[in-house]
Amino acid sequence: MSDFDFDLFVIGGGSGGVRAARVAAGETGAKVALAEEDRYGGTCVIRGCVPKKLMVFASEYGTVAEDAKGYGWDIAEGSFNWGSFRERLKNELDRLEGIYRNLLKNSGVTSYDARAKVKDAHTVELSTGETITAKHILVATGGRPMRPEIPNAELGLVSDDIFHLEELPSSILIVGGGYIACEFACILNGLGVEVTQYYRGAQVLRGFDEQARGLIAESMVENGVQLHCGTDIVEMRLATAEDLEEHEIAGVPMGARMQEMLADHSGGKPGDGPVWVKASNGDVKVFDKVFFATGRLPNTDDMGLEEAGVKLGRKGEILVDDYSATDVPSIYAIGDVTDRVNLTPVAIREGMAFVETVFKDNPTKVDHELIPSAVFTQPEFGTVGLSEEEAAEQEPIEVYATSFRPMQTAFAGRPDRVMMKLVVSKETRKVLGCHIVAPNAGEMIQLAGIAVKMGATKEDFDRTVAVHPTMSEEIVTLKSPVRTA
C-alpha cells in the first residue's frame, strides 16, 4: 500500500500531460491524477495546431475557387463569413475537449479542474484548497504567448486571442517573424484581412534553410502580405480621431464602422483598436488590430518549483536531463515547459518516454534528432534535418535543389513556385536535410522524414522510382548538385 494519494500527479492537461497520464494509468495500472486549470487538450487542441490548421484550410478556399475558374469552372464571387466559421470552430473544439476528458476518464485517471502548484517533492496544492500527495509529479504546463516590453503592448492581441475575435479586422499588423507570425499572416491575408508584418530580423523564419525562407517570404509578398523585415514598433497607442483623419486605417478608408469603433473603445483592453503605430522604418500607420507573435514563455510562474528545488533556466524553462528528470528525483517535466523542441508530437513522445522510464522500468531517452516539421504558410514548408547553412558548417556537402512552377497552379495562371532541396554529405552520401516549399509540403515531409531518419543516402533517393505526375517526384530525380560547400 503506497503512502501517497497517487502514484503520479500530472500538472497540465495538454498534449504531453494527457498522454503521460492515460498511458501510465491505462498500461501500467498506476494510480494517476491530473489537474488542468483551463481546457483539456491544452495549447495544441484549444489555441494552437488544431484551430490554426482549420483556419489555414478556411483561408485557402479563396484561391482554390479562383484557380477553379482557370480550369473552366464558372464560379460566382463568394465571401468569407467569420461568424459562421467561428461557431463551427467552437463546436469542433468543444467536441475535441470532450474526447480528451473521456480519454482520461476511460483510462481511470482522476481529473481535477483546478490550478496546481508544487508544494514539495511529493505534494501538490490545488486552487480548490485540496492538498494531494503523489510518488511522482509530472509538470506538463506548456507555455504562453508573450508581448514585447513596450508601452501599450497590452493593446496587442496574441495568438490565444485570434480564435475568439468577434469579427475579423479589416487590417492587422503582425509583429514577429517566427512560424506563428508567418502562418497567421498567410491565414489572415487569405481571409481577406489587409496584413502588414514587421519583423526586426533580416529574414523571417530564422533557423530554417535560407533558400526556403527566401522563397516563402517572396511568395507571402506576392500573395499580398506587406512584409517589412528589419522593422519593429517604436511607439504604439490607441488611435485618436485626429490620427484617423491623418492616417486612414491601413488599406481601409475611415468608414462608419471605424468611427463607431473609435467612439466605442473603452481604452487599454487587449485587442482594443484602432491602434496608432510608429515603426522603425519611419512609417506611421493606424491598424485595426495589432497582433504580437513575438515568442512564448514556459508556464512556471508561481508554481512553487524553485522552492521545491527544481532548477529553472534563463527563460523560466524547467531544466531536465535526457529522461525529463529535474533535480528533484520525484519531479519530472515534459513538453513546452522544458523548452526543448516545442511541438506537439515531441511533447507526446516525451510523455511516453517518461512513462517507460518511471513506470515500466525501461529507461528511455527522448530522441530529439531529425524531427520533421511543417510551417503552414502559403506555400507550406516541410523540413527535416540540417539546413544548407548548418550542414555546411558541419562538413563538406553537396546541395541538390530545384524550383519550378507546379502544374496545378501554373495551369490556373498563378505564379506560385515550389522548391525541393536535398543537402547531402559528400563523405557518407547521407541526406542530412530535406526541405520542401510546396502545397502540402507537411504531408510530403512526414514520409521523406522516414527515409532521412533511416539514414538514406542520395543514391537511395535516386534508386526510388518517381511517382508521376506529382510535384514530389522531383525529390528522386535531382541529377547534379547545384552547389557544393
Ligand X SMILES: Cc1cc2nc3c(=O)[nH]c(=O)nc-3n(C[C@H](O)[C@H](O)[C@H](O)COP(=O)(O)OP(=O)(O)OC[C@H]3O[C@@H](n4cnc5c(N)ncnc54)[C@H](O)[C@@H]3O)c2cc1C
Residue in the block written with cell 523585415: 229
Q: Are 372 and 445 in contact (CB under 8 A)?
A: yes
Please list, in sequence order, all residues whose beta carbon lies within 8 angstroms of the beta carbon of residue 169, skipping any fewer than 6 positions away.
Answer: 188, 193, 273, 287, 288, 289
Least CB distance to ligand X at residue 89 (A): 14
Which residues lie near ligand X (CB under 6 A)? Answer: 11-17, 35-38, 42-44, 48-49, 52, 115-116, 140-142, 159, 180, 299, 303, 335-337, 342-345, 347
Cell numbers for 279: 515603426
Q: Return the number of the residue (11 or 244) whose C-beta is nearest ligand X.
A: 11
Residue-by-residue DSSP string for 140-181: ---EEE---SSTTGGGSB-HHHHTT-SS--SEEEEE--SHHH
Least CB distance to ligand X at residue 71 (A): 30
Alpha-helical segments (H) within 44-164: 49-70, 82-106, 159-162
Residue in the block written with cell 533580416: 202
Q: Return the number of the residue (273 or 335) whose C-beta is nearest ligand X.
A: 335
- Please tell me which residue in 122, 136, 265, 468 is annotated as part of the active site: 468
CA angle 335, 45, 368 (to 5 degrees): 30
Q: Return the number of the residue (335 or 385) whose C-beta is nearest ligand X.
A: 335
Residue in the block written with cell 495562371: 413
Least CB distance to ligand X at residue 35 (A): 5
Q: Return the number of the residue (380 or 398) whose C-beta is nearest ligand X.
A: 380
Q: Return the number of the residue (7 or 36) whose C-beta is nearest ligand X.
A: 36
Q: Return the number of the residue (35 or 249) whose C-beta is nearest ligand X.
A: 35
Cα end-to-end span (Å), the chain: 63
Strand residue runs (E) in 170-293: 171-175, 194-199, 226-229, 233-238, 275-279, 284-287, 289-292
Note the maximum CA span of the chain. Answer: 74
Least CB distance to ligand X at residue 92 (A): 16
C-alpha distances in angstroms, 391 versus 265, 396, 408, 431, 474? 52, 8, 33, 10, 22
3-state secondary structure (DSSP) of residue 129:
coil
Q: Are 21 and 98 in contact (CB under 8 A)?
A: no
In angstroms, the CA 368 to CA 356 distance is 17
In angstroms, the CA 446 to CA 436 distance is 11
Beta-strand pair 226-229/418-425: unpaired
Q: Are 3 and 334 in contact (CB under 8 A)?
A: no
Least CB distance to ligand X at residue 222 (A): 23
In angstroms, the CA 336 to CA 2 distance is 31
Q: Return the number of the residue (286 or 347) whose C-beta is nearest ligand X.
A: 347
Q: Return the number of the residue (56 or 391) whose C-beta is nearest ligand X.
A: 56
Cell numbers for 253: 478608408
Q: Tell me the residue type at 286.
A: V
Least CB distance to ligand X at residue 277 (A): 22
Least CB distance to ligand X at residue 44 (A): 4
Least CB distance to ligand X at residue 55 (A): 10
Annotated active-site residue 164? The verdict is no
Least CB distance to ligand X at residue 310 (A): 13
Long-range contacts of 477-480, Cβ-Cβ distance < 8 Å, separation of 24 or more: 478/400, 478/401, 478/402, 478/420, 478/422, 479/400, 480/400
Residue in the block written with cell 496608432: 276
In angstroms, the CA 337 to CA 299 distance is 6
Q: Return the number of the residue (284 or 450) whose C-beta is nearest ligand X.
A: 450
Q: Which residues are catalytic?
A: 468
